Amino acid sequence: MRRLVAETSLEPRHLVLPMFVADGIDEPRPISSMPGVVQHTQDSLREAASEAVAAGVGGLMLFGVPRPEDKDARGTCGVAPEGVLNRALRSLATELGDETVLMADTCLDEFTDHGHCGVLDAAGGVDNDATLKQYADMAVAQADAGAHLLGPSGMMDGQVAAIRAALDAAGHQEVGQLAYAAKYASAFYGPFREAVGSSLHGDRRTYQQDPANRRESLREVDLDLAEGADMVMVKPAMSYLDVLRETADRSPVPVAAYQISGEYAMITAAAQNGWIDRDAAILESLVGIRRAGADIVLTYWATEVAQRLSGRR
Protein backbone atom coordinates (compact mmCIF):
# COMPACT_ATOMS: atom_id res chain seq x y z
CA MET A 1 0.00 0.00 0.00
CA ARG A 2 2.84 2.43 0.80
CA ARG A 3 4.38 1.69 -2.56
CA LEU A 4 1.04 2.32 -4.22
CA VAL A 5 0.67 5.78 -2.71
CA ALA A 6 4.27 7.02 -2.50
CA GLU A 7 4.45 10.57 -3.87
CA THR A 8 8.15 10.67 -4.64
CA SER A 9 10.18 8.26 -6.72
CA LEU A 10 13.89 7.70 -6.98
CA GLU A 11 15.16 6.00 -10.11
CA PRO A 12 18.68 5.39 -11.45
CA ARG A 13 18.12 7.89 -14.28
CA HIS A 14 17.62 10.68 -11.74
CA LEU A 15 21.18 10.27 -10.48
CA VAL A 16 24.38 11.84 -11.79
CA LEU A 17 27.80 10.62 -10.65
CA PRO A 18 30.49 13.27 -10.05
CA MET A 19 33.95 11.83 -10.84
CA PHE A 20 37.51 13.05 -10.34
CA VAL A 21 40.29 12.31 -12.82
CA ALA A 22 43.87 13.17 -11.94
CA ASP A 23 47.18 13.58 -13.74
CA GLY A 24 50.40 12.25 -12.26
CA ILE A 25 49.06 9.11 -10.55
CA ASP A 26 49.52 5.49 -11.57
CA GLU A 27 46.59 4.06 -9.70
CA PRO A 28 43.38 5.42 -8.18
CA ARG A 29 44.13 7.61 -5.17
CA PRO A 30 41.71 7.47 -2.22
CA ILE A 31 40.33 10.75 -0.86
CA SER A 32 40.64 10.43 2.91
CA SER A 33 37.73 12.72 3.80
CA MET A 34 35.46 10.88 1.33
CA PRO A 35 35.95 7.17 2.06
CA GLY A 36 34.94 5.20 -1.01
CA VAL A 37 35.60 8.05 -3.47
CA VAL A 38 38.86 8.26 -5.41
CA GLN A 39 40.80 10.38 -7.83
CA HIS A 40 40.83 8.25 -10.96
CA THR A 41 43.50 7.54 -13.51
CA GLN A 42 42.30 7.75 -17.10
CA ASP A 43 41.98 3.95 -17.12
CA SER A 44 40.12 3.56 -13.83
CA LEU A 45 37.85 6.44 -14.86
CA ARG A 46 36.77 4.55 -17.97
CA GLU A 47 36.03 1.45 -15.91
CA ALA A 48 34.07 3.30 -13.23
CA ALA A 49 32.18 5.28 -15.86
CA SER A 50 31.14 2.10 -17.65
CA GLU A 51 30.02 0.59 -14.36
CA ALA A 52 27.90 3.66 -13.59
CA VAL A 53 26.32 3.63 -17.03
CA ALA A 54 25.59 -0.10 -16.74
CA ALA A 55 23.87 0.62 -13.43
CA GLY A 56 21.59 3.04 -15.27
CA VAL A 57 22.68 6.43 -13.91
CA GLY A 58 21.46 9.44 -15.87
CA GLY A 59 24.84 11.08 -16.37
CA LEU A 60 28.44 11.65 -15.31
CA MET A 61 29.95 14.95 -14.12
CA LEU A 62 33.73 15.14 -14.56
CA PHE A 63 36.24 17.17 -12.56
CA GLY A 64 39.92 17.39 -13.50
CA VAL A 65 42.82 17.32 -11.06
CA PRO A 66 46.05 18.54 -12.68
CA ARG A 67 49.56 18.07 -11.32
CA PRO A 68 50.32 20.92 -8.91
CA GLU A 69 53.17 22.08 -11.15
CA ASP A 70 50.77 22.44 -14.10
CA LYS A 71 48.63 25.04 -12.32
CA ASP A 72 49.04 28.73 -13.12
CA ALA A 73 47.25 31.99 -12.36
CA ARG A 74 44.90 31.65 -15.36
CA GLY A 75 44.12 27.95 -15.09
CA THR A 76 45.59 27.34 -18.54
CA CYS A 77 45.69 23.56 -18.13
CA GLY A 78 41.92 23.54 -17.70
CA VAL A 79 41.47 25.06 -21.14
CA ALA A 80 44.21 23.19 -23.02
CA PRO A 81 42.87 20.39 -25.23
CA GLU A 82 45.52 18.09 -23.74
CA GLY A 83 44.68 19.02 -20.13
CA VAL A 84 43.59 16.19 -17.82
CA LEU A 85 39.88 16.97 -17.96
CA ASN A 86 39.67 17.41 -21.72
CA ARG A 87 41.59 14.17 -22.30
CA ALA A 88 39.17 12.36 -20.01
CA LEU A 89 36.17 13.82 -21.81
CA ARG A 90 37.54 12.72 -25.17
CA SER A 91 38.18 9.23 -23.91
CA LEU A 92 34.74 8.80 -22.32
CA ALA A 93 32.98 10.34 -25.32
CA THR A 94 34.67 7.73 -27.51
CA GLU A 95 34.02 4.90 -25.08
CA LEU A 96 30.40 5.69 -24.19
CA GLY A 97 29.02 7.67 -27.12
CA ASP A 98 25.40 8.56 -26.45
CA GLU A 99 24.92 5.93 -23.73
CA THR A 100 25.04 8.60 -21.05
CA VAL A 101 25.01 12.37 -20.64
CA LEU A 102 28.64 13.41 -20.35
CA MET A 103 29.02 16.54 -18.26
CA ALA A 104 32.05 18.67 -17.40
CA ASP A 105 32.72 21.12 -14.61
CA THR A 106 33.36 24.40 -16.42
CA CYS A 107 35.33 26.25 -13.78
CA LEU A 108 38.92 27.26 -13.16
CA ASP A 109 39.43 26.52 -9.46
CA GLU A 110 40.90 23.07 -9.94
CA PHE A 111 43.44 24.55 -12.39
CA THR A 112 44.52 27.85 -10.85
CA ASP A 113 47.51 28.09 -8.52
CA HIS A 114 45.54 30.44 -6.24
CA GLY A 115 42.51 28.15 -6.19
CA HIS A 116 39.88 30.74 -7.08
CA CYS A 117 37.19 30.07 -9.65
CA GLY A 118 38.36 32.92 -11.86
CA VAL A 119 41.38 34.97 -12.81
CA LEU A 120 42.48 37.68 -10.39
CA ASP A 121 42.83 41.42 -10.84
CA ALA A 122 45.79 43.48 -9.63
CA ALA A 123 44.25 43.83 -6.17
CA GLY A 124 43.87 40.05 -5.80
CA GLY A 125 40.10 39.99 -6.25
CA VAL A 126 38.40 37.81 -8.84
CA ASP A 127 38.06 39.69 -12.14
CA ASN A 128 34.56 38.73 -13.31
CA ASP A 129 34.74 39.84 -16.93
CA ALA A 130 38.27 38.60 -17.60
CA THR A 131 37.12 35.25 -16.20
CA LEU A 132 34.22 35.07 -18.67
CA LYS A 133 36.67 35.04 -21.58
CA GLN A 134 38.53 32.13 -20.03
CA TYR A 135 35.26 30.25 -19.39
CA ALA A 136 34.27 30.77 -23.04
CA ASP A 137 37.50 29.15 -24.25
CA MET A 138 37.20 26.37 -21.68
CA ALA A 139 33.61 25.65 -22.74
CA VAL A 140 34.54 25.35 -26.40
CA ALA A 141 37.47 23.05 -25.53
CA GLN A 142 35.17 20.83 -23.46
CA ALA A 143 32.55 20.70 -26.21
CA ASP A 144 35.28 19.91 -28.76
CA ALA A 145 36.34 17.06 -26.45
CA GLY A 146 32.84 15.59 -26.51
CA ALA A 147 30.98 16.93 -23.47
CA HIS A 148 27.19 17.03 -23.93
CA LEU A 149 26.36 19.32 -21.04
CA LEU A 150 28.56 21.90 -19.33
CA GLY A 151 28.31 22.78 -15.66
CA PRO A 152 29.52 26.35 -15.13
CA SER A 153 30.08 26.37 -11.37
CA GLY A 154 32.11 29.54 -10.86
CA MET A 155 29.23 31.92 -10.06
CA MET A 156 30.56 34.73 -12.28
CA ASP A 157 27.90 37.17 -13.44
CA GLY A 158 27.08 36.61 -17.10
CA GLN A 159 28.81 33.23 -17.35
CA VAL A 160 25.87 31.40 -18.93
CA ALA A 161 25.43 34.01 -21.68
CA ALA A 162 29.17 34.17 -22.38
CA ILE A 163 29.43 30.38 -22.67
CA ARG A 164 26.30 30.14 -24.82
CA ALA A 165 27.64 32.72 -27.28
CA ALA A 166 31.02 30.99 -27.48
CA LEU A 167 29.49 27.54 -27.99
CA ASP A 168 27.18 28.81 -30.74
CA ALA A 169 29.99 30.65 -32.51
CA ALA A 170 32.05 27.44 -32.48
CA GLY A 171 29.23 25.37 -33.97
CA HIS A 172 28.29 23.66 -30.69
CA GLN A 173 24.59 24.63 -30.70
CA GLU A 174 23.67 21.21 -29.32
CA VAL A 175 25.85 21.39 -26.23
CA GLY A 176 23.78 22.59 -23.28
CA GLN A 177 24.37 24.08 -19.86
CA LEU A 178 23.44 22.83 -16.43
CA ALA A 179 23.99 26.14 -14.68
CA TYR A 180 25.03 26.23 -11.06
CA ALA A 181 22.51 28.98 -10.42
CA ALA A 182 22.07 29.08 -6.65
CA LYS A 183 25.44 28.06 -5.30
CA TYR A 184 26.19 28.94 -1.70
CA ALA A 185 29.53 29.64 -0.03
CA SER A 186 29.36 26.48 2.05
CA ALA A 187 31.51 24.89 4.74
CA PHE A 188 30.33 21.55 3.41
CA TYR A 189 32.62 21.80 0.37
CA GLY A 190 35.55 20.96 2.66
CA PRO A 191 36.24 17.40 1.46
CA PHE A 192 35.97 18.49 -2.20
CA ARG A 193 38.98 20.72 -1.67
CA GLU A 194 40.97 17.60 -0.82
CA ALA A 195 39.37 15.72 -3.71
CA VAL A 196 40.66 18.22 -6.28
CA GLY A 197 43.88 19.13 -4.46
CA SER A 198 42.67 22.72 -4.21
CA SER A 199 45.21 25.50 -3.66
CA LEU A 200 42.63 27.87 -2.18
CA HIS A 201 43.44 30.11 0.76
CA GLY A 202 40.57 32.22 1.97
CA ASP A 203 37.03 31.73 0.76
CA ARG A 204 34.63 32.31 -2.12
CA ARG A 205 32.22 34.64 -0.39
CA THR A 206 32.66 37.42 -2.94
CA TYR A 207 31.10 35.30 -5.68
CA GLN A 208 29.10 32.50 -4.02
CA GLN A 209 25.82 33.12 -2.18
CA ASP A 210 25.45 33.98 1.49
CA PRO A 211 23.72 31.10 3.35
CA ALA A 212 21.44 33.66 5.00
CA ASN A 213 19.85 34.69 1.71
CA ARG A 214 17.02 33.30 -0.32
CA ARG A 215 15.99 36.09 -2.64
CA GLU A 216 19.40 36.63 -4.19
CA SER A 217 19.53 32.98 -5.16
CA LEU A 218 16.15 33.20 -6.86
CA ARG A 219 17.48 36.21 -8.73
CA GLU A 220 20.52 34.18 -9.79
CA VAL A 221 18.18 31.47 -11.09
CA ASP A 222 16.17 34.03 -13.10
CA LEU A 223 19.33 35.55 -14.56
CA ASP A 224 20.70 32.16 -15.61
CA LEU A 225 17.39 31.27 -17.23
CA ALA A 226 17.35 34.58 -19.11
CA GLU A 227 20.92 33.90 -20.27
CA GLY A 228 19.91 30.55 -21.75
CA ALA A 229 20.50 27.91 -19.07
CA ASP A 230 19.03 24.56 -20.14
CA MET A 231 18.88 23.26 -16.56
CA VAL A 232 19.58 24.98 -13.25
CA MET A 233 21.20 23.70 -10.08
CA VAL A 234 20.93 24.38 -6.37
CA LYS A 235 23.99 23.51 -4.30
CA PRO A 236 24.56 22.22 -1.65
CA ALA A 237 21.36 20.22 -1.27
CA MET A 238 20.69 19.45 2.36
CA SER A 239 21.02 22.89 3.92
CA TYR A 240 19.14 24.53 1.03
CA LEU A 241 16.04 22.39 0.49
CA ASP A 242 13.81 25.48 0.78
CA VAL A 243 15.73 27.20 -2.01
CA LEU A 244 15.44 24.01 -4.04
CA ARG A 245 11.67 23.92 -3.57
CA GLU A 246 11.25 27.54 -4.60
CA THR A 247 13.51 27.06 -7.60
CA ALA A 248 11.56 23.99 -8.68
CA ASP A 249 8.28 25.90 -8.36
CA ARG A 250 9.41 28.70 -10.65
CA SER A 251 11.73 26.96 -13.10
CA PRO A 252 10.51 26.15 -16.60
CA VAL A 253 13.59 23.95 -17.09
CA PRO A 254 14.76 20.84 -15.21
CA VAL A 255 16.24 21.44 -11.77
CA ALA A 256 19.25 19.66 -10.31
CA ALA A 257 20.58 19.55 -6.76
CA TYR A 258 24.10 18.56 -5.73
CA GLN A 259 24.53 16.39 -2.65
CA ILE A 260 28.05 17.62 -2.06
CA SER A 261 31.22 16.22 -0.57
CA GLY A 262 30.48 17.30 3.01
CA GLU A 263 27.03 15.70 2.90
CA TYR A 264 28.65 12.48 1.71
CA ALA A 265 31.32 12.72 4.42
CA MET A 266 28.83 13.33 7.23
CA ILE A 267 26.67 10.32 6.48
CA THR A 268 29.73 8.16 5.88
CA ALA A 269 31.40 9.18 9.14
CA ALA A 270 28.27 8.69 11.23
CA ALA A 271 27.73 5.29 9.66
CA GLN A 272 31.35 4.28 10.28
CA ASN A 273 30.81 5.11 13.94
CA GLY A 274 27.74 2.92 13.99
CA TRP A 275 25.57 5.92 14.76
CA ILE A 276 23.17 5.69 11.84
CA ASP A 277 21.95 3.07 9.40
CA ARG A 278 24.07 3.94 6.37
CA ASP A 279 21.94 2.51 3.55
CA ALA A 280 18.68 3.87 4.94
CA ALA A 281 20.20 7.30 5.56
CA ILE A 282 21.55 7.50 2.01
CA LEU A 283 18.17 6.68 0.49
CA GLU A 284 16.32 9.03 2.83
CA SER A 285 18.67 11.89 1.97
CA LEU A 286 18.14 11.34 -1.75
CA VAL A 287 14.37 10.96 -1.52
CA GLY A 288 14.29 14.17 0.52
CA ILE A 289 16.16 16.03 -2.21
CA ARG A 290 13.78 14.65 -4.84
CA ARG A 291 10.75 15.55 -2.68
CA ALA A 292 12.06 19.11 -2.36
CA GLY A 293 11.86 19.43 -6.14
CA ALA A 294 15.03 18.10 -7.76
CA ASP A 295 14.52 16.38 -11.10
CA ILE A 296 18.19 15.40 -11.05
CA VAL A 297 20.47 14.65 -8.09
CA LEU A 298 24.25 14.70 -8.26
CA THR A 299 25.55 12.27 -5.66
CA TYR A 300 28.77 10.37 -5.04
CA TRP A 301 26.56 7.35 -4.31
CA ALA A 302 24.99 7.36 -7.78
CA THR A 303 26.34 4.00 -8.94
CA GLU A 304 25.72 2.19 -5.68
CA VAL A 305 22.19 3.53 -5.30
CA ALA A 306 21.34 2.86 -8.95
CA GLN A 307 22.45 -0.74 -8.47
CA ARG A 308 20.44 -1.03 -5.29
CA LEU A 309 17.31 0.46 -6.86
CA SER A 310 17.44 -1.98 -9.74
CA GLY A 311 18.01 -4.94 -7.42
CA ARG A 312 21.54 -5.56 -8.66
CA ARG A 313 23.09 -5.06 -5.27
β 38-40/101-106 pair status: unpaired
107 in contact with ligand PBG (CB under 6 A): yes
At its nearest, how many Å lie between ligand PBG and the CB of residue 107? 4
At its nearest, how many Å lie between ligand PBG and the CB of residue 97? 26
For ligand PBG, the closer of residues 90 and 204 by Cβ is 204
Total chain residues near ligand PBG (CB under 6 A)? 10
CB atoms within 10 A of CB 106: 27
At its nearest, how many Å lie between ligand PBG and the CB of residue 73? 17
Catalytic option among 235, 267, 301, 306 = 235
Q: What is the dihedral of CA 178, 254, 52, 286, to 10 degrees?
A: 110
β 231-235/296-298 pair status: unpaired
Among 71, 75, 105, 152, binds ligand PBG (CB under 6 A): 105
Which DSSP state fits 113? S
From the list 42-50, 93-101, 102-110, 218-226, the region that binds ligand PBG by CB under 6 A is: 102-110
Among 39, 209, 261, 303, binds ligand PBG (CB under 6 A): 261
For ligand PBG, the closer of residues 43 and 216 by Cβ is 216
189 in contact with ligand PBG (CB under 6 A): yes
Q: CA-to-CA distance for 58 and 42, rounded, in angstroms?
A: 21
100 in contact with ligand PBG (CB under 6 A): no
235 an active-site residue? yes
Determine if residue 43 is left, alpha or beta; phi over 0 gives left, psi from -120 to 50 gives alpha, anything else beta.
alpha
Yes or no: say if 15 and 299 are a contact pair by the CB < 8 Å rule. yes
Yes or no: say if 19 and 301 are a contact pair by the CB < 8 Å rule. no
304 in contact with ligand PBG (CB under 6 A): no
260 in contact with ligand PBG (CB under 6 A): yes
At its nearest, how many Å lie between ligand PBG and the CB of residue 250? 23
Q: DSSP 3-state assignment of 34?
A: coil
116 in contact with ligand PBG (CB under 6 A): no
For ligand PBG, the closer of residues 42 and 199 by Cβ is 199
Determine if residue 158 is left, alpha or beta; phi over 0 gives left, psi from -120 to 50 gives alpha, anything else beta.
left
Yes or no: say if 204 and 210 are a contact pair by the CB < 8 Å rule. no
Catalytic option among 87, 90, 183, 290 = 183
Yes or no: say if 293 and 248 are a contact pair by the CB < 8 Å rule. yes
Residues within the interface to ligand PBG (CB under 6 A) = 105, 107, 109, 117, 153, 189, 192, 204, 260-261
Q: Which residues are catalytic?
A: 183, 235
